[in-house]
Amino acid sequence: MRISRLVTFLFQAVTIGLAAAFVIVYLYPELLHRRAPVVEFHEHAAAPNASARPPIVSPGPVSYAPAVNIAAPAVVNIYTQKLVTERAHPFLDDPLLRRFFGDQGGGGKPHKRLETSLGSGVIVSPQGYILTNNHVIDGADEIEVALHDGRTASAKVVGTDPETDLAVLRIELDKLPVITLGSADRLQVGDVVLAIGNPYGVGQTVTAGIVSATGRTQLGINTYENFIQTDAAINPGNSGGALINPNGELVGINTAIFSRTGGSQGIGFAIPVSLARDVMAQIIEHGHVVRGWLGVEIQDINDALAESFGVKSSEGVLIAGVLDDGPADRAGLKRGDIITAIQKQPVKDVHDALAAIAKAHPGSAIRVDGIRGGKPFHLEATVSERPKQPERTRRDNGPEGGPNDER
């Protein structure tokens, strides 16, 4: 009897245990598959075809000395002198003051003094042509060029273009080092560039940086702007010098810096070699740059103007004035017209319009599309040659003033 009860008790215990185990496994199946925790590491492992795959990042050159050795001999220092007449202070005309100071102040008469300045330039042809900035040689009576090899020569001005701030000089020397012209059109933001020049007159100096931006416009530096921006240190005296790529090729002419102190703050501007080459070719051929001209004053359209004129987009330029009997006037363009395209190319802003008009050959007809009174129009205008513009005062330490708005 006791044995029967014991068997019954064991059977019930086993049954209850199996039932409990079944319930637990059913509710928590992961208990049957528990494993030791695994730690994952990102280890470098060679792929089967790793030898055929190029590295993701290629190291840059250890030194840019080869590029500098190629380009530096063609970069020159430019020293200018001009005789400046200064008017004496009107107080010195006062007889009472002259009684005390005598003629120490020159008796109120104008006096002359010699003013010197310095800059840089680049030899671009075996014939001795040198590219530099107009503001480097503007008004100079004497121009002296010092070469990297120690030779010096007097330079004559072949021609200038104040609207791009470029000038072409020429020297008469044999066996001149010549820089190789590169392509600024292929420059990308982040490309390495080197600036070579004569900052502060300390002698030829090389600084390195990258291309910070391309196609910079509306800076108020020149009338025609298409600048390369770089953080390579550019200081007073660098103007007219070379901006080169790591192959030693010329990609720009250093022109200006943006600075609040007069020193480099990592914002420098250079004229692309493509623009400089075209200007130089015209100066050598014609003595000046030939550009198209319509005789209009134009301005960019902001959202408020677009709304007031009933146009959907702020792209285009507004004609703010038309010169009487000028090319635009004769073609029928009126004040208040909005120009949206020239030669069927969209015009987004003043820079686009100015470039399109300037590119047209004088005497040729161009198509102008626009909006007048909310309705589209198109007409043809015969382009004239752009008159010579008055030169603007320039400094070497940053953008100032503004471009002439007569197109």
CA distances from 90 to 104, 106, 108, 133, 175 (A): 14, 11, 7, 36, 54
User: Dihedrals φ, ψ of 230, to 5°?
Assistant: -140, 155
CA distance 137 to 80: 7
Domain boundaries, the chain: 65-170, 180-286, 292-385
The architecture (CATH level 2) of 180-286 comes to Beta Barrel (2.40)
User: Residues 111, 88: contact at Cβ < 8 Å?
Assistant: yes
User: Residues 309, 316: contact at Cβ < 8 Å?
Assistant: no
Single-letter amino acid code for the residue at 322: V
Where do runs of H (alpha helix) occur along 28-119? 65-71, 95-101
313 annotated active-site: no
CA distance 390 to 176: 34
In this chain, the answer to whether the domains covering 65-170 and 292-385 adopt an identical fold is no
To which residue do tokens 């509306």 refer? 218
CA distance 271 to 255: 7
165 annotated active-site: yes
User: Residues 215, 226: contact at Cβ < 8 Å?
Assistant: yes
Task: Supply the pLDDT for residue 184.
Answer: 87
Burial class (CB in 10 A: 0-12, 13-18, 19+), 17: exposed
To which residue do tokens 């104040």 refer? 162
For 245-277, how does the pLDDT look when each residue is reduced to its tens digit (9 = 90+)?
999 999 999 998 776 666 667 788 999 999 999
> 292-385: which CATH topology?
Pdz3 Domain (2.30.42)
The one catalytic residue among 117, 138, 161, 165: 165
Which superfamily does 65-170 belong to? Trypsin-like serine proteases (2.40.10.10)
Which residues lie across from 109 on neighbouring strands? Answer: none
Task: Supply the pLDDT for residue 180.
Answer: 93
378 annotated active-site: no
Joined together, the tokens standing for residue 135 give: 């503001």
The per-residue pLDDT string of the chain (407 residues; one tens digit each, 9 = 90 and over) reads: 556 666 666 667 667 777 666 666 666 665 555 554 444 433 444 444 544 445 445 566 678 999 999 999 999 999 998 877 766 555 556 665 555 555 555 555 666 777 788 899 999 999 999 999 999 999 889 999 999 999 999 999 999 999 999 999 999 999 999 999 998 888 999 999 999 999 888 889 999 999 999 888 777 777 888 899 999 988 888 899 999 999 999 999 999 877 666 666 778 899 999 999 999 999 999 888 889 999 999 988 888 887 777 777 777 899 999 999 999 999 999 998 999 999 999 988 888 898 899 888 899 999 999 999 888 999 999 999 988 765 544 434 333 233 333 33
The one catalytic residue among 117, 120, 239, 259: 239
Joined together, the tokens standing for residue 35 give: 């494993």
